[in-house]
Structure 1
């Protein structure tokens, strides 16, 4: 998973209308790299829009999970 490659923690999930929601935290360089990857998306994805927002850090968060 790309987020783990960049040593980020957080989560991601599919939501209605073929959208994806998630949060990631880690060092600035890792977050920036993940955002660049997400802008392009995986090979079969069609990224129309990317929205970002700063959030408070989640202390003690470990790993990156896919929520279902």
Structure 2
């Protein structure tokens, strides 16, 4: 199990990024959370099987169809024992 914190920049708010991220996380069996930040970025924490978490990180590089991602930063974090995935 691993945990990654992701910050996504670009046109990522108002394009269903959080809801789509929640659905993709559920499909991959990944727990954690996603939220909009006041500066227009989206922040997320993904926890789970390393391959599944990496698939979520890769998904963040493009996001949903109406998103235009310009940058993604990824940081390792200690496990937080998340039990589900939520939109904050």
Alignment TM-score > 0.5, same fold:
yes
1:44 maps to which residue? 66
Decide which structure has greater strand share. 2
Q: Distance in 1 between matches of 2:29 and 2:70?
A: 26
1:32 to 45, 54, 58: 54
What residue ranges of structure 2 are gaps of 5+ in the alignment?
1-22
Superposed CA RMSD: 0.8
Give per-residue Cα distances to partners, 1:30-49, cap 9 Å, x unaligned.
01111111101111111010
TM-score (norm 2): 0.71
Task: State TM-score, norm by structure 1.
Answer: 0.91
Gaps of 5+ in 1: none
What is the aligned partner in structure 1 of residue 85 from structure 2?
Answer: 64
**Structure 1 consecutive aligned stretches of length 4 or more whose deviation exceeds 3 Å:** none
